[in-house]
Amino acid sequence: MSRDYRFADSFGYAVPDSPKMLRETLCVAQARIGNGPPDPRNREHIERLERLIAECDRKRPLHHGKHDSLHTDECGCPGRSPR
Ligand SMILES: [Zn+2]
């Protein structure tokens, strides 16, 4: 399914958390929702979290769960400067 990113530039977020830490928290939230009580909106919350996790992965790519040397300007590793 293709995503509509027409408005993405209007939703710039600035948070002090690195993509690594943000991803970890988002994954915990996703698991808690998935394992929590049934709710008609669970699917939408899980899919929204999935998009946020994908954005973290765009900023800080992983290969088999490891970032290794897949650095970007936004990965947050020491010595890598944010844009
Ligand atoms: Zn890096």
What residues does each domain of the chain span?
Answer: 16-83
Tokens of 26: 């988002």
In single-letter form, the type of residue at position 14 comes to A
Residues with CB under 5 A from ligand 1 (ion): 71, 75, 77
Q: According to the model, what pLDDT value does residue 1 have?
A: 55
- Mean pLDDT by 10-residue block, N- to C-terminus, for the chain (83 residues)? 77 91 98 98 98 97 96 92 63
How remote is the C-alpha of 36 from its chain's centroid? 21
Using the mean position of ligand 1's atoms as its centre, give its distance from the Cα of residue 2 in Å.
Answer: 27
Inter-CA distances, 52 with 37, 43, 46, 78, 79, Å? 22, 14, 10, 22, 24
Q: According to the model, what pLDDT value does residue 39 have?
A: 98
Using the mean position of ligand 1's atoms as its centre, give its distance from the Cα of residue 83 in Å.
Answer: 13
Q: According to the model, what pLDDT value does residue 70 have?
A: 96
